Amino acid sequence: DGGITQSPKYLFRKEGQNVTLSCEQNLNHDAMYWYRQDPGQGLRLIYYSQIVNDFQKGDIAEGYSVSREKKESFPLTVTSAQKNPTAFYLCASSSTTGGAFGYTFGSGTRLTVV
Amino acid sequence: GDSVTQMEGPVTLSEEAFLTINCTYTATGYPSLFWYVQYPGEGLQLLLKATKADDKGSNKGFEATYRKETTSFHLEKGSVQVSDSAVYFCALKIPPGNTPLVFGKGTRLSVIA
């Protein structure tokens, strides 16, 4: 079945460490996105990529980095520069095939700083 | 910039009550509008959408009408069930192509038996 896989489901990070969240899709979607979800804040866009080897900053990109070397993969690195990384992270992908816009979410990674 | 405003929650209703969750938007172009639902510990699932003015999206008993004159896309359901308890997000997208969705802050709904 086609879909988006995020791993791990739960992740713990020590202060000062970088961690990488995985996002893989087999939907053949061109675009991929990373959102951060905090209680009462809704979803805020971190980075997005509309095509391989290209990506754009979203509203809260500081302290995060991404790469898009393959169409299927869009990993997110939370660096030590991100001062408050504890949150729920959601990856999504989208396609406009046939003129219809489709947006699919993964099941999320919950990151906790310990 | 483009934005979405939803009514604050939480909303608590008894089973079989009528549900309305208000959503208004500000956009520079002619957006497509969406409602997504999130169950505990999961990602978001598309509930319904509308792509132009006066369109009505509907799914699983939920419906919303794209009102350009009031820039609104309110979510309604005639009779809620306990299984409808979740967080609901209103979102917009400016066409064309793969531009990011802009989300509201979400409204938590709790339905009690």
CA angle B53, B59, B61 (to 5 degrees): 110
Phi, psi of A65 (to 5 degrees): -145, 155
Band of residue A12 on the pLDDT scale cut at 50, 70, 90:
very high
To the nearest whole angstrom, how far is the Cα of A9 from the nearest Cα of chain B?
A: 10
Chain centroid to Cα B22, Å, comes to 8
Going by DSSP bridges, is the β-strand pair A109-113/A10-13 parallel, antiparallel, or unpaired?
Answer: parallel
Band of residue A96 on the pLDDT scale cut at 50, 70, 90:
confident
Band of residue B106 on the pLDDT scale cut at 50, 70, 90:
very high
For the stretch B59-97, pLDDT in tens is: 999 999 999 999 999 999 999 999 999 999 999 998 887
CB atoms within 10 A of CB A12: 13
Q: Do B100 and A45 touch (CB under 8 A)?
A: yes
Determine the 3-state secondary structure of B83 from DSSP. Answer: helix
Please check the confidence at residue A69 and state whether its pLDDT lies above 60: yes
Q: In this complex, is the C-beta atom of B106 within 8 Å of any C-beta atom belonging to chain A?
A: yes
Going by DSSP bridges, is the β-strand pair A87-95/B44-50 parallel, antiparallel, or unpaired?
Answer: unpaired
Q: Which of B42, B46, B105 lies closest to A103 in CB terms?
A: B46
Q: Compare A111 and B99 and report the one with higher pLDDT.
A: A111
Task: Please provide the average confidence, as pLDDT, over all residues in chain B.
Answer: 94
Task: Please provide the average confidence, as pLDDT, over all residues in chain A.
Answer: 91
The rounded distance, in Å, linking the Cα atoms of B33 and B90 is 7
Q: In chain A, what percentage of residues exceed pLDDT 70?
A: 95
Looking at residue A97, its pLDDT comes to 64
The rounded distance, in Å, linking the Cα atoms of A60 and A109 is 17
Chain B 42-71, residues with CB within 8 Å of chain A CB atoms = 42-46
To the nearest whole angstrom, how far is the Cα of B67 from the nearest Cα of chain A?
A: 20
Q: In chain A, what percentage of residues exceed pLDDT 90?
A: 76
Please check the confidence at residue B98 and state whether its pLDDT lies above 90: no
